[in-house]
């Protein structure tokens, strides 16, 4: 029996050659944003572990060999811990984007610097007699399962899991629409009047060959990242000019490069071409002594793409009026305007616009996804909107998301809508599959990152999910104060009640009565019953229908019983009495 277990363990452990190949695959990935010192760190700890010298992997050794620092004091100097944390986050991010096809999983568990090596899910699926692998480092790796089995379940369009095939650097979802023979290879129509952005090549001194290459590289990277935002249309201004065609774009993104020794400054601005108004500008500095030119180009392009095209970003201003003739853009502005205001009137305006647009352009997947989200909001934000949550709204949201997915399965906004419709239908595995696919397609979309992070967290994967929510907050994602409540939950679940209260008060407490409920629970758990009572009084006055249904709402949003108990225990301490059979609205 012991021999059998030993044999099985040896099968589960990848050999040194497999680990080394996986390490090179990770470091060669253009999406892995690690400076040279971190790469040297990772190579060192992997090679030492493979050589059987992991016992010597201490902060002092790493500082000496990797950083070249003698007399290192790990107690007062956090340099090694900080670098290790950066590597852990990049490894998690890599596997989130790469999907299930990776043959070897490399992680560095917290509390030390010794890496672990495990087989990926692709190996285990090919060897079903081997025990299932443990999820590496809390990273949710989507299962490779067919979208649906038409022979067994013709009435379930996308009830099975999303098939994620080879989600690597290009993040390509392949071959999913074949499941509906009558919809095979449907023509995609992006609608009419979507916001257009022409990307011009960055200016640079004519005699600087290095900046010439960086200019072209940054432009190419920027175009590649912006096209993943389906709410906009991206035009290569240089290519259009070479063909003698005006871009006719609504916006022009232009920039310039300057260099002093190893420092490069990228100055960029977004111009509205109708009146030449500069509506946004920023500078980005890179240091070529610690980054390669390729790394610098990628980093700058990611920051620009996120700032310009993320939901609620530069081209979706809060005070925008109708643009006149830009139908899809008008509806997008209407949708984000509603999400900021969160009123029944704003919701009706956005739904009316999106419904008319999708009737006119039935193959516009992005607008279908937004319409799906407005229907879903009638369930998840029902108490804020002052309406009764209805199963019909959730079903409509689900059908719209599935319809959009058949049209465009490589659309991050569509997959976001699909993720949320699955989550609130209590199909957590399918929701996380869709979320992983959405994030892999466009990791620079901060709303995708934030919403996926919330679903990971609320399904019990707090470490990984909270990292993504933190990323969304740091980039100013969503309506102001929206993701801060997620950070409050993250702090609450790890037992940091002081941070939880601070984050909760930083959230927009009027955006959703559930935010007040979270704060009441935190205050109750902290023993601040008088303050908690004030939150409950607010809920009784402003969302009276929520109070009899709090238990149901908590269990709908948090998948694990232990997480539900933490919130409910805090509410009990605040003075809430729960009924066994909640009253429905």
Concatenating the DSSP letter of every residue in 132-158 gives: PPPPGGG--PPP---S--TTT-TT-SS
Share of the chain above pLDDT 90, in %: 46
Residue 249 banded pLDDT, cuts 50, 70, 90? confident
Q: How far apart are CA 211 and CA 410, in angstroms?
A: 34
Residue 3 banded pLDDT, cuts 50, 70, 90? very low
**What confidence score (pLDDT) does residue 325 get?**
53
Residue 127 banded pLDDT, cuts 50, 70, 90? low
Residues in Cβ contact with 169 at an 8 Å cutoff, skipping those fewer than 6 apart: 29, 30, 31, 97
Give tens-digit pLDDT for 326-339: 688 889 989 999 99
The model scores a pTM over 0.85: no
**What confidence score (pLDDT) does residue 244 get?**
73
**What confidence score (pLDDT) does residue 290 get?**
83
Counting runs of H as helices and runs of E as strands, what totals does the chain give?
Answer: 24, 7
**What confidence score (pLDDT) does residue 2 get?**
39
Average pLDDT over residues 490-501: 94
Q: How far apart are CA 369 and CA 348, in angstroms?
A: 16
Burial class (CB in 10 A: 0-12, 13-18, 19+), 397: buried
Give tens-digit pLDDT for 539-559: 999 988 888 888 988 998 999
Round the average pLDDT of the chain to a whole number and report it. 81
**What confidence score (pLDDT) does residue 172 get?**
34
Share of the chain above pLDDT 70, in %: 82
Q: What are the chain's domains?
A: 2-138 (no CATH), 195-306 (3.40.50.10070), 327-574 (1.25.40.10)
Residue 403 phi, psi dihedral angles, 5° rounding: -65, -45
Structure tokens at 432: 């996380």
Give tens-digit pLDDT for 359-370: 999 999 999 999
Q: What is the DSSP string of 256-325?
A: EEEEETTEEEEEEEEEETTTTEEEEEEEEEEETTTS-HHHHHHHHHHHHHHHHHSTTSTTS-TTPPP-SS
**What confidence score (pLDDT) does residue 81 get?**
85
**What confidence score (pLDDT) does residue 11 get?**
52
Asked if pLDDT for residue 581 goes beyond 70, the answer is no
The winner for highest mean pLDDT among 50-54, 69-73, 110-114, 402-406 is: 402-406
**What confidence score (pLDDT) does residue 274 get?**
83
The winner for highest mean pLDDT among 24-33, 233-242, 275-284 is: 275-284
Q: How far apart are CA 354 and CA 372, in angstroms?
A: 10
Average pLDDT over residues 451-457: 95
Residue 480 phi, psi dihedral angles, 5° rounding: -55, 130
Sign of CA dihedral 294, 297, 300, 305: negative
Burial 47-67 (b: 16+ CB within 10 A, else e): ebbbeeebeebebebbbeebb
Q: 380-383: which pairs have CB atoms within 8 A and are 24 or more residues apart? A: 380/420, 380/424, 381/342, 381/512, 382/585, 383/512, 383/513, 383/514, 383/543, 383/545, 383/546
Residue 321 banded pLDDT, cuts 50, 70, 90? low
**What confidence score (pLDDT) does residue 13 get?**
77
**What confidence score (pLDDT) does residue 188 get?**
34
**What confidence score (pLDDT) does residue 99 get?**
61
**What confidence score (pLDDT) does residue 358 get?**
93
Neighbours of 304 (CB within 10 A): 26
Asked if pLDDT for residue 121 goes beyond 70, the answer is no
**What confidence score (pLDDT) does residue 571 get?**
96
**What confidence score (pLDDT) does residue 122 get?**
56
Asked if pLDDT for residue 520 goes beyond 80, the answer is yes
Give tens-digit pLDDT for 141-184: 333 333 333 333 333 333 334 443 333 333 333 333 333 333 33
Give tens-digit pLDDT for 195-235: 889 999 999 998 888 899 999 999 999 999 999 998 889 99
**What confidence score (pLDDT) does residue 123 get?**
55
């Amino acid at each position: 029996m012991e021999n059998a277990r030993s044999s099985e363990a040896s099968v589960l452990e990848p050999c040194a050659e497999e680990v080394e190949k996986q390490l090179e695959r990770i470091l060669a990935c253009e999406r892995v944003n690690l400076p040279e010192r971190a790469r040297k760190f990772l190579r060192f700890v992997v090679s030492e572990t493979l050589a059987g010298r992991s016992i010597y992997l201490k902060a002092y050794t790493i500082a000496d060999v990797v950083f070249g620092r003698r007399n290192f004091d790990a107690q007062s100097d956090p340099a090694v811990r900080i670098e290790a944390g950066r590597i852990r986050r990049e490894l998690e991010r890599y596997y989130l984007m790469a999907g299930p096809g990776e043959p070897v999983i490399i992680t560095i568990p917290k509390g030390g610097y010794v890496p672990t090596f495990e087989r990926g899910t692709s190996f285990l699926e090919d060897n079903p007699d081997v025990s299932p692998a443990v999820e590496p480092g809390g990273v949710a790796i989507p299962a490779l399962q067919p979208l649906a089995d038409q022979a067994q379940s013709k009435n379930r369009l996308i009830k099975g899991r999303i098939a994620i095939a080879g989600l690597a650097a290009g993040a390509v979802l392949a071959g999913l629409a074949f499941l509906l023979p009558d919809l095979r290879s449907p023509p995609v129509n992006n609608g009419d009047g979507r916001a257009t952005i022409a990307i011009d090549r960055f200016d640079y001194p004519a005699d600087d060959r290095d900046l010439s290459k960086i200019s072209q590289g940054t432009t190419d990277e920027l175009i590649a990242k912006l096209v993943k935002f389906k709410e906009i249309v991206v035009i290569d201004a240089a290519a259009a000019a070479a063909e003698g065609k005006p871009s006719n774009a609504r916006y022009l993104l232009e920039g310039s490069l300057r260099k002093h020794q190893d420092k490069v400054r990228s100055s960029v601005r977004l111009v509205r071409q109708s009146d030449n108004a500069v509506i946004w500008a920023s500078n980005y500095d890179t240091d070529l002594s610690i980054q390669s030119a390729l790394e610098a180009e990628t980093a700058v392009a990611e920051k620009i793409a996120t700032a310009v095209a993320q939901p609620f970003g530069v081209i979706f201003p809060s005070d925008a009026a109708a643009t006149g003739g830009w139908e899809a853009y008008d509806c997008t502005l209407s949708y984000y305007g509603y999400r900021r205001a969160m009123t029944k009137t704003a919701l009706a305006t956005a739904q009316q616009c999106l419904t008319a647009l999708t009737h006119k352009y039935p193959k516009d997947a992005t607008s279908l996804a937004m319409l799906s989200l407005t229907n879903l909001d009638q369930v998840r934000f029902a108490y804020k909107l002052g309406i009764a949550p209805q199963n019909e709204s959730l079903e409509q949201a689900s059908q719209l998301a599935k319809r959009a997915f058949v049209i465009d399965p490589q659309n991050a906004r569509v997959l976001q809508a699909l993720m949320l419709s699955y989550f609130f239908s209590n199909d957590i595995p399918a929701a996380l599959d869709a979320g992983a696919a959405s994030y892999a397609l466009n990791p620079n979309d901060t709303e995708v990152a934030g919403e996926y992070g919330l679903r990971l967290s609320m399904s019990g994967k707090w470490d990984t999910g909270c990292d993504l929510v933190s990323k969304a907050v740091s980039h100013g994602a969503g309506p102001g104060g929206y993701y801060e409540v997620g950070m409050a939950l993250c702090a609450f679940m790890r037992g940091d009640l002081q941070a939880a209260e601070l984050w909760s008060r930083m959230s927009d407490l009027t955006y959703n009565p559930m935010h007040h409920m979270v704060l009441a629970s935190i205050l109750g758990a902290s023993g601040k019953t008088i303050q908690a009572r004030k939150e409950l009084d607010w809920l009784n006055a402003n969302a009276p229908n929520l109070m009899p249904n709090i238990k149901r709402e908590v269990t709908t949003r948090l998948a694990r019983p232990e997480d539900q108990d933490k919130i409910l225990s805090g509410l009990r301490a605040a003075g809430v009495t729960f009924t066994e059979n909640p009253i429905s609205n």
